[in-house]
Amino acid sequence: MTTVADILKFVETLAPRAMKMDWDNVGLLCGSRTAPVTKILVALDPFEHVCAEAAEWGAQLIVTHHPMIFRPLSGVTDDTSIGRGLMTLIRNGISAVNAHTNLDQAPGGVNDELARKLALVNVEVVNPCGTTENGEPWGLLRMGQVPEQPLEAFLNRVKTLLSCESLRYVNGGRPVRKVCVGGGSCADGMHEAIAAGCDTFVTADVKYNQFWDARDLGLNLIDAGHFYTENPVVAVLAEKLSAAFPEVEVKISESHRDCMKFF
């Protein structure tokens, strides 16, 4: 019978622990590695409503990108959203496994999927941190080419391909040819992107001074949203789990959407 340990081992094959950043928390963060698994709910975040959805559906495991526990906890109570989520999981015998920065950095992970979604070609790792056993480089950012086009055309492309409601951006004053991507909060990587010859950078959670820095550096900087730049990996995870464990039912969370809206 398939157990949490089997799933965990498979997830850590896709996104090895050794690829995570030092400050990160990944792997089995709730539950039991010996628990049998017949249903897995996959989602970007292990938020309270995702835990509730898992319980309602009868899952024994949630697999997410963000960790169930990020800052170590001093209590598990229903005073906090994390506490409520954990209590829902535990009461329903659900374990929680995640791959965070290891999945950002792994070949085929968050950023490779983001590059694929945006139809970049000749995709490479920017400043690789190492090489896998198969000789594939890994690291945080990806870059690739698009047919030369005005920024506006590329903005349209990003919005459509990632299904974003809206984008925030600064015009660096250059047409788009070589694009760097970093799902989530990667705007600090803009200097790396420029040094690698990119004219455009797609990431999220960009702050006021970062937009201005990009403008001063002549970089088109696009904030496509944390959710929209990372969520594409969820489908990849679900497919790979499904393929590897045909006896297990794998479902993508239906309740989890970005809570942030534009007006």
Interacting residues with a second copy (CB under 8 A): 25, 27-34, 45, 47-48, 68-69, 71-79, 81, 86-87, 90-91, 95, 152, 155-156, 159, 166-171, 184-185, 204-208, 211-213, 215-216, 225-227, 259-263
Could you tell me if 7 and 42 are in contact, meaning their C-beta atoms sit under 8 angstroms apart?
no
Could you tell me if 98 and 69 are in contact, meaning their C-beta atoms sit under 8 angstroms apart?
no
Angle between helices 4-14 and 232-244 (to 10 degrees): 120
Q: Would you say 72 or 246 has its CB closer to a second copy?
A: 72
Q: What is the DSSP letter of 21?
A: -
Q: Would you say 121 or 260 has its CB closer to a second copy?
A: 260
Coil, helix or strand for 160?
Answer: helix
* Smallest gap from residue 89 Cβ to a second copy (A): 9
CB burial class (10 A; 0-12, 13-18, 19+) of residue 166? exposed
* Smallest gap from residue 80 Cβ to a second copy (A): 8
Q: Would you say 2 or 203 has its CB closer to a second copy?
A: 203
Q: Would you say 21 or 212 has its CB closer to a second copy?
A: 212
* Smallest gap from residue 171 Cβ to a second copy (A): 7
Distance of CA 124 to the CA centre of its chain: 18
* Smallest gap from residue 150 Cβ to a second copy (A): 12
Q: Would you say 75 or 246 has its CB closer to a second copy?
A: 75
Tokens standing for residue 149? 């086009």
* Smallest gap from residue 256 Cβ to a second copy (A): 11
CA atoms within 13 A on the CB side of 205: 12
